[in-house]
Structures are given as structure tokens and as C-alpha cells.
Structure 1
Amino acid sequence: MRAFAELLDRLVLTPSRNRKLQLMVDYFRAAPDPDRGLALAALIGDLDFPAVKPALLRALMSERMDPVLFGYSYDYVGDLAETISLVWPTGDDGAGTELRLADVAARLMAVSRSDAGKVLTDLLDHSAASERFAILKLVTGTLRIGVSARLAKQALADFGSKPVNEIEELWHGLHAPYADLFAWLEGTADKPVPQAQALFRPVMLSTPMGDTDHTKLEPSDYAAEWKWDGIRVQVVANNGTYRMYSRTGDDISGSFPDLMQAVTFDGVIDGELLVGDPQGRTATFSDLQQRLNRKSVSPKVQAEFPVFVRVYDILQRGEEDLRGLTFVERRKHLKAFVSTLDPARFDVSRFVSFDSWAQLDEMRKHPPHPIIEGVMVKRWDSTYVPGRPKGPWFKWKRDPYTVDAVLMYAQRGHGKRSSFYSDYTFGVWSGPEDAPELVPVGKAYFGFTDEELKQIDKFVRDNTIDRFGPVRSVRADRTTGLVFEVAFEGLNRSTRHKSGVAMRFPRINRLRWDKPTAEADRIETLQSMLDA
């Protein structure tokens, strides 16, 4: 358990991607089975201990520490697991004991809800502070250590000297603690043969089109399609098993039963999931969010927010793997394939005709539909290659919108940012000119440098006027405050927000220390963008 705790501690404090990879590789090499497999499952969020909930942790702490003092401690630290691990009262601090990750996981998986408090207390009482942190991170399921599932799979690839796409193709047929996977990666067993059907295929990704990239390319070598503002999906059907995956390989089929009923083919297609009707309207991303991450979807929601897939590639037709064909050849297969499907649920992404980059650039800046966020540019002769190869596919997005907004609230971050106020809510002016008020229009937690983070954090601490748990309200009026230039990709109407708008992918573009808060934008600026 100490090795896993040390791994978490070092991952939290390590910003470098390559160093994180090396830390995971070293752990996989040194840890025994099944500890390393359980650690892998924890890193990718695939461990669940249903008997232990955050409410139980708070209840245990209320028996051991004054609630007000604990609240102040939690506010200062910014992370529930870390706070409890530091203040948990224990006499021996785990001296002379050695817990194994496998033993801890087995006890927590087998415990009933009525006994969960007793078992967790025993584990924490016999653990050092770093181990307590690891145990609590396990049971809360929120590691927040800067490791994505994709990065963990890359670490496995580095560990076994295998292509990461080979691991991704196996992934949905494997289960924790992944003993057969590690045996193959170490060269002591054959490659696992997944028993599951309709497995995910690693997707091909595009690279952003730089300001001068297109000047080096021949327009006639490339096709262009509109880039729609939905989510990338892969629909897989194999021997009567039907699944839909996100671009990262998460199975999202359960949220879209109406669409899955229309999957009557045998093959693998790649496209964009959108709300609306292929022959009529295409709704906003906010509408699509009404369908995402739902365990059950009522008939009313299905009818109000119908979904379809705008298909732009085909990877497999029946048993025939088409990824080695050129893009133009795959398109021929795709058109014939989609022509046999339900037209209310599937259509083919249309090409954008252009003769020069200047012409396509103009269309990119002024697309014919508000849900289009740019163009995709693909070489006619490109094969379907997993990952992000440079050159075959480009995304050329619209220039971001920007507004000047005022910082209103700040919240502590997580991991290495837990000591800083790094999550920001900002607003614009609304109401009469002589008595305006700020209304929140978005949140952002990136787009600034480490040095700028320190500057904003100091401003928050020096200008706090109220507290709401871990959130601080800062001074923001017509004469005092901090202005952010906020960049965002799109804007949607929203009934959930007081401002009536919701931003897509907002980020801090720059700090406007020079700008008076009174000169920040008004809500009418955003409303005019919506109307346009």
C-alpha cells in the first residue's frame, strides 16, 4: 500500500507528462499482481466501493473532530481525502504495519454498508498519513492526479513496448486486476483474446491547422467537411452486439437506447453525435448535454432531444477491415453502407467544395449553420491510422469569441493546485446603465501561467468579501475588481443560468489588470452573438 500511496503522491506533484509515464511504468514493473492491476483500475476510475460514500467520511470525522475546525481545515486544504488523511487521530500512525493494496481493496469490496464505517476506521487507524490519503482516494473515486485513462494505457504500452492502439483494441475485453494483460506485456504469456463482442477501435485524430500550415499544402490533395459541434462517437455492431463509444473508448450506449434500436448493421462507423433530425434541424450542444451521462432516459427526453449520427468514416464492413484503404475509397464504402440505414438516425457528412485555401478560410469564418465550429480537412489518400498523425487530417476551427468579464467567485483547485484559488467564475454587466449588476456567464480553470495563477490567488485572498465553504466571493463592483479576457468556442441559450447564456469551452485568454471593471462587457454583447 505504501508503494501505491507514494505513486499517488508523486503523480500529484509531477506536472510533466513524460515523468508521469515513467512513474507509472516503474510502479508496474516493481509491484506484484494483483496490486498493480488494482492500481491501474484505480488510476482509470474502474474501481468502485459502493458501501463507502463521502457522507460516511464526514460522519466519521464528526465523531473525531470539531465540525467547525474540520470545515476550516477542509477549506484550507481543498481536498476531502487529503484533509482527513492529515487530521485523522491515530496513535501509532501505522508504525510496524504493512497493508497491501489487494487486501485493502478486498476488504472494502466485501464490506456491507452497515459495517463500512468500522472497516474503514480500522484501516485508517493502522495506516500512515500517506496510506490514509491513498485509501481515501480509492474509496471516493476522485484521484485528481492528472492521469487520464489514455495516459495510463500509454504507460502500459511503454511498460510492454507495445503500440498503445493495440492495448486500446483489447481494452473492453479485459477486467481488473488485468493479470493476463500484464503477463503478455512482460512476455510471459500470449496476447489476451477478448471474449467480448463489439470492441472499440482506437480512433484517428486530427491536428489543429496552424496559421501557415495550409500554405504548404496543395488544396487538390484534400477534402473538406463541416466540423459539427457534437461529440465524436464510434458505433460498433458485431454478431448481434451493439455498442456506441466516445472517442476515448467509454461505452455510452445506455444513454441512447433510441439510437441503438436503429443499429441493424454489422460493422464499425465513425461520426458525430448530434441532437435533431438529419433532414431538418440540428440542435445545440446544450441540447445534447440533456442526453449525456444518464443511466436511464425517459421516453419524454428521447422525444424532446432525439439524436442521430452524422457519419464521416467507416472502419469495418461486416468482417472486412477497411482501415487500410484510402479515405476516398472508404467514402465509397461509406455512402453505400449508410444508404441502407435509418435516415432519421444516420446520414453521411457532406463535403465542402473549395478551390483555394482562401476560399475555404472564408467559409470557415462564416459557416452556414450556428452549430458548425469550423472545417475538417483530410487527405484523399489517407489511411485510417490510430492516434494523431501529423499531416493527414486537420481541424480548422472558427476563431474563438472573446469578451471582457469580471472575476466574481474563486474556488480552490485540486492536486498540485489545492493551495491556490484556481477555479474562477466570471460575469458581465446587466441591468440599467446607472445601476448595473454582474451576472455569472461562465467558469474557467485554465489559460493562465503559473506566475499569473499566483497573482490571481493573491488578488482573491486580498479581496475576499464572503465565503461559501471552499468558495470565496471577491470584491467586484464598478470601481474594484479583476477583468479577464475570456475566449470561448460557442454560446448557447440556457434556462439554468441567470444570465440566460452558457459558454462552450471558456478559458482565460489574458488578464486585464489595465482595464477598469466598469468597462467590462454587458450581457447584451453576448445576446447579440446569440442572435447573430
Structure 2
Amino acid sequence: MRPFSQLLDALVYTRARNDKLKLIGDYLRRTPDPDRGHALAALTGGLDLKAVKPAIIRGLAESRVDPVLLAMSRDYVGDMAETVSLLWPAPEGETDDGTLGLADVVERLQRLGRAEAPAALAAMLDHLDASGRFALLKLATGALRVGISARLAKVALADAFGLDVDSVEEVWHGLKPPYLPLFAWAEGRGAQPTPGDVPVFRPFMLAHPLEEGALSLDDYAAEWKWDGIRVQIVRAGGETRLYSRAGDDVTASFPDVAEAFASEGVLDGELLVRGVAQGGEAGSFNALQQRLNRRTVSARMLADFPAFVRLYDILFDGAEDLRALPWTERRARLEALVPTLDPVRFDLSALIEAPDFAALADIRAGARDAAVEGVMLKRRDSPYVAGRRTGLWYKWKRDPLTADCVLMYAQRGSGKRSSFYSDYTFGCWTPDGALLPVGKAYFGFTDEELKWLDRFVRTRTVARFGPVREVEKTLVLEIAFDSIHVSTRHKSGLAMRFPRIARIRSDKPAAEADTIEALKRLAT
């Protein structure tokens, strides 16, 4: 357990991507099986330890530590696992002798029922030092949050053993922790694992942002960039799976789509839901959020938010790999396939007809559909290649909307920001002169601006609610956001998509900030 906890400690305090890759790679090379496989699963979100929930950890801590002290410490530290790891009073004589391995911990946690979990977890906490306790609690709750994406961990594995990361991606979902065949292949002790008849993930082709300059529509085709989540639909061996752009299996959240796809092959598209306000057409991302990250979906949820996929591309037609074909040929194959699919669950992303780039720019500028995020430009002769390749695909997102809002509340961040008030709730004016919250943002500002905002919060606090502070309603923030939608879940009746702080408007009086009615006129 100690090598894994040391790895987590190092990753928390390492910013540079290449340094993180080296830390993970060194760990994977020097750590034996099965510990390194379980560590890799933890870093990529592949462990599912259902018996340990955050409430169990809080209850254990309150049985050993004064609850008031625990609550005050949690407010200051900003993270329950870190708080408990530092405060936990291990019995006298207990020391971390390094004999408790990561595989031992994972196997114990996997065997536990919910009734057994508290006592077993407490026994392990007693046996570890503060660093080990932190690693254990993060592992048990599945909330590592050490600045590592699943893709980055796979890149680290590939770099450490001289593998092609796309080859790793293609076999990944056919394997299970602790990935013994994967490491045997990596070290030259075994052949490359083959997915066989398993519906495995293939890396997506991605686009570069179009910063400036025009492209010839003789060379590039244009289609809408839809505001859902990019998914890959894979059917092989009689089974269908849906994968997100990060390679996460999201089939359980969208069984209605998976059940409707019975053609062997691999398709690329945008997952959307049909909106009531849109007359059954693609709804806003806010509607899609009702379905995301759910392990089970109720019949009512399926009926109220029916999902479908707007198809972009085809990678495999049956067993035939089409990725080397130019986009024009793949598009023709996709157009021939779509009429054979369930029209309720699948349709084709239409191309945008424009005589030239200037006309396309005008069309893009006028697009404020609830489900449109911008325009995609795809080189007509481009193969389907993993990752971002210069000159092939571009995304031309529509310009963000902005609003001047008043800072209302601030909350401490987590991790490196746990000592700063870095999460900001802001509002706009109602007709009777009251402020209603319309969103929350925690990025868009520089480190220096964060320090300035933190000082403002600390010196202008008017009330405290645990880790949250209410501040004087005097500071205007210019908020940029991709879109705004009507929402019954929020008191203001509005929900912003990707809000971020564009500017601190200390020059503007709060009374001149925007109104709720003005934002409603922007809502789609």
C-alpha cells in the first residue's frame, strides 16, 4: 500500500503532464502484479467498491474524533478523506510496517458486505500511516481526484513499456483488473491481447479549434456540432455497448439506445435527448443531464427523456474496418446504413449547404438552436485517425454569450485550492430588486485574480454557512457561457451551460448588472 500512497502524494503535488506520466510509468515498471494492475484500475476509474460510501467514513471518524472538531477541520481542509487521514487516532502500538499491499486492500474491500465494511475499514486505517489512510479512503470511495484522466494513465502505461497507446485503448475494454495479460504483453512475456468478439472501444478522431482564417469548402465539408455527448456505438458478439469520448462504458445509462442497435459494427455520433419544448427534436444539454451518470434508469426517465444518437461517422461496417477510407466514402456508407436503423433512436447529422466560407460564417452566427454548439469542418479526403491531426477536422464553436452578474456566495475549493475561496455563485436582478442565483463558476480566472477574489470574499463576508460565505452584493463578474436554458430545478428558472468568469468588473456598479428577464430572452 505504501508505494501506491506515495504515488498519489506525488501526483497531487505535480503539475506538469510529462512529470505525471513519468511518475505513473516508474510505478508501473517497478511494482509487481497484481498491485500495479489494481493501481491502474484505480487511476482509470475501473474499480467498483460498492460497500464503502462517504457516510460510512464520516460515521467511523465521528466514533473516534470529536464531531465538532471533525466538522471544523473538514471545513478548513476541504476534503473529508484528507481530514480523516490526518485526524485518525490509531491505537497505541500500531505502525505501518508496509506489509498491507494494495491487492490485499482491494480484495478485502471487494469481498465486504455493507454491514462488514465499517469494522474492516477501521482495522485497515489503524494499520496505516496518514499517507496510507488517505490512499485507502480515496481508493475505497472511488474519488482519487489527483489530476489524472483515464487517458493520461493509459498514455503513461504505453510510454513506460514502449507500446502504442491506441493499441492499448483497443484491447482495454476486453480486459479486467488487474490486467495480467496486458502487463505480460507490455513486458514481452505474452502476445498482444485480442478483443475477439467483445465490443471494445476505439479511440475517437478529434478536431482542432478553428482559431482564424477561412477554409475552402471545396476541400472541407461542414456539419453542425451538436451539444450532447460524443459516443461510440459498438456491436460485436451479439452485445452492444456505448462508450464516451474518454472510453467510459455508458451503456447502463442509455439502455434504450443500446437495445435498438442490432447491426454489427462501430458508429460515431452525438448522444442527445428529445426535448418537449423542441417538439420532439434534439433538446438542450440540460435535458440530457437528467440521464447522465445513472447506473439504472427508471421507466419514467426513459419516457420523459428519450435518448437518440445523431450519427457522424462509421468506423466498422460489420467486420470491415473503414477507418482508412476517405471521409467522403465513409459518409456514403453511413448514409446507406442509416435508413436500416431504428429512426426513433438514430438519425444522420445533416451537412450544411453553403456556397463559400463567408456564407457559412453567416449561417453559424445565426445558429442559436438549443442543441447546436457550433460547426464542424471535415476534410473530404481525411481518414478516421485517432486523436487530433492538424489539417483534418476543425471545430468552430459559436461565440459565447456573456452576462454581467453579481457575486453572492463563495466556497472553498478542493485539493490545491482548499485554502482559497475559489467556487463562486453569482446572480442577476429580479424586477422587484432582489438577486437570484443563476450559476456557479470556478474557472476562467488567473492565479493572481484568484488571490484578489479570495481577499474580496474574506474582507466582504456578511454571513457564514459552514464552508460557504455570503458576501456583500457589490462585485460584478462578467460571465461567459455557451448557452442558457429554462430549468425547473433552479429558483431563477434558468441553467447556464459551461459558465466561466471572463472578467472581474470592479469598475461597474452592482445595480447595473443584468436582470433575470434579460437572461430569459437569451434562453433556448
Q: Distance in 2 between matches of 1:466 and 1:100?
A: 46
Amino acid at match of 1:507: R
The residue aligned with 1:79 is: 79
Query: Could you say if the C-alpha distance between residues 390 and 416 of structure 1 is closer, same or farther in structure 2, counting changes exceeding 3 Å?
Result: same
Equivalent residue runs for 1:226-237 within 5 Å: 226-237=224-235
Query: Could you say if the C-alpha distance between residues 428 and 96 of structure 1 is closer, same or farther in structure 2, counting changes exceeding 3 Å?
Result: same
The residue aligned with 2:246 is: 248
Shift of residue 264, structure 1, vs aligned partner: 2.4
The residue aligned with 2:171 is: 170
Shift of residue 488, structure 1, vs aligned partner: 0.5
CA contact (8 A) 1:376 1:394 kept: yes
- Normalising by structure 1, we get a TM-score of 0.94
The residue aligned with 2:441 is: 444
Amino acid at match of 1:529: L
Is 1:465 the equivalent of 2:462? yes
CA contact (8 A) 2:240 2:259 kept: no
Equivalent residue runs for 1:216-227 within 5 Å: 217-227=215-225
The residue aligned with 1:517 is: 510
Amino acid at match of 2:347: D
* Alignment equivalent of 1:500, drawn from 490, 493, 497: 493
CA contact (8 A) 2:408 2:427 kept: yes
Shift of residue 297, structure 1, vs aligned partner: 2.5
Shift of residue 525, structure 1, vs aligned partner: 1.5
Shift of residue 107, structure 1, vs aligned partner: 2.4
Q: After the TM superposition, which of the residue ranges 49-58 and 379-388 deviates more from structure 2?
A: 49-58
The residue aligned with 2:40 is: 40
Q: Distance in 2 between matches of 1:405 and 1:398?
A: 22
Shift of residue 4, structure 1, vs aligned partner: 1.0
Is 1:49 the equivalent of 2:49? yes
Equivalent residue runs for 1:37-436 within 5 Å: 37-90=37-90, 91-92=92-93, 94=95, 96-194=97-195, 197-212=198-213, 214=214, 217-276=215-274, 281-367=281-367, 369-432=369-432, 436=433
CA contact (8 A) 1:235 1:269 kept: yes
Equivalent residue runs for 1:15-26 within 5 Å: 15-26=15-26
Unaligned runs of 5+ in 2: none
Superposed CA deviations along residues 127-162 of structure 1, whole A, max 9, x for unmatched, are 111111111111121111111111111111111222
Shift of residue 516, structure 1, vs aligned partner: 2.0
Shift of residue 513, structure 1, vs aligned partner: 2.1
Superposed CA deviations along residues 84-117 of structure 1, whole A, max 9, x for unmatched, are 1111113457354543212222222223333322
Shift of residue 403, structure 1, vs aligned partner: 0.7
Shift of residue 121, structure 1, vs aligned partner: 1.9
Superposed CA deviations along residues 413-439 of structure 1, whole A, max 9, x for unmatched, are 22212222222211111132xxx1111
Q: Distance in 2 between matches of 1:359 and 1:524?
A: 32
Q: SS state of the match for residue 170, structure 1?
A: helix
Amino acid at match of 2:377: V
Query: Could you say if the C-alpha distance between residues 92 and 422 of structure 1 is closer, same or farther in structure 2, counting changes exceeding 3 Å?
Result: farther
CA contact (8 A) 1:92 1:126 kept: no
Amino acid at match of 2:437: P
Superposed CA deviations along residues 285-322 of structure 1, whole A, max 9, x for unmatched, are 22222222223333333222222211111111111100
Q: Distance in 2 between matches of 1:518 and 1:438?
A: 10
Q: SS state of the match for residue 38, structure 2?
A: helix
CA contact (8 A) 1:144 1:414 kept: no
CA contact (8 A) 1:172 1:196 kept: no
CA contact (8 A) 1:93 1:129 kept: no
* Alignment equivalent of 2:519, drawn from 506, 526, 532: 526
Q: SS state of the match for residue 225, structure 1?
A: strand
Query: Could you say if the C-alpha distance between residues 181 and 208 of structure 1 is closer, same or farther in structure 2, counting changes exceeding 3 Å?
Result: same
Q: Distance in 1 between matches of 2:209 and 2:2?
A: 42
Superposed CA deviations along residues 211-252 of structure 1, whole A, max 9, x for unmatched, are 23x3xx433100000111111111111232111221222222
CA contact (8 A) 1:97 1:126 kept: no
CA contact (8 A) 2:240 2:258 kept: yes
Query: Could you say if the C-alpha distance between residues 342 and 405 of structure 1 is closer, same or farther in structure 2, counting changes exceeding 3 Å?
Result: same
Amino acid at match of 1:270: D
Query: Could you say if the C-alpha distance between residues 305 and 113 of structure 1 is closer, same or farther in structure 2, counting changes exceeding 3 Å?
Result: closer
Q: SS state of the match for residue 124, structure 1?
A: helix
Superposed CA deviations along residues 352-387 of structure 1, whole A, max 9, x for unmatched, are 122322211111111273421211000000000011
Amino acid at match of 1:108: L
Q: Distance in 2 between matches of 1:307 and 1:48?
A: 26
Shift of residue 487, structure 1, vs aligned partner: 0.6
Q: After the TM superposition, which of the residue ranges 372-381 and 256-265 deviates more from structure 2?
A: 256-265
Amino acid at match of 2:477: F
Q: Distance in 1 between matches of 2:97 and 2:242?
A: 49
Q: SS state of the match for residue 219, structure 1?
A: coil
Amino acid at match of 1:143: L
Amino acid at match of 1:383: P
Query: Could you say if the C-alpha distance between residues 453 and 28 of structure 1 is closer, same or farther in structure 2, counting changes exceeding 3 Å?
Result: same
CA contact (8 A) 2:197 2:237 kept: no
Amino acid at match of 2:476: V
Shift of residue 524, structure 1, vs aligned partner: 1.5
Q: Distance in 2 between matches of 1:460 and 1:231?
A: 35
Q: After the TM superposition, which of the residue ranges 169-178 and 99-108 deviates more from structure 2?
A: 99-108
Q: SS state of the match for residue 261, structure 1?
A: helix
Unaligned runs of 5+ in 1: none
Q: Distance in 2 between matches of 1:48 and 1:368?
A: 40
Q: SS state of the match for residue 260, structure 2?
A: coil
Q: Distance in 1 between matches of 2:129 and 2:480?
A: 44
Aligned residues: 521
* Alignment equivalent of 1:453, drawn from 450, 454, 457: 450
Q: Distance in 1 between matches of 2:42 and 2:370?
A: 40
Query: Could you say if the C-alpha distance between residues 220 and 122 of structure 1 is closer, same or farther in structure 2, counting changes exceeding 3 Å?
Result: same
Q: Distance in 2 between matches of 1:260 and 1:51?
A: 28
Q: Distance in 2 between matches of 1:484 and 1:368?
A: 24
CA contact (8 A) 2:203 2:387 kept: yes
CA contact (8 A) 1:44 1:149 kept: yes
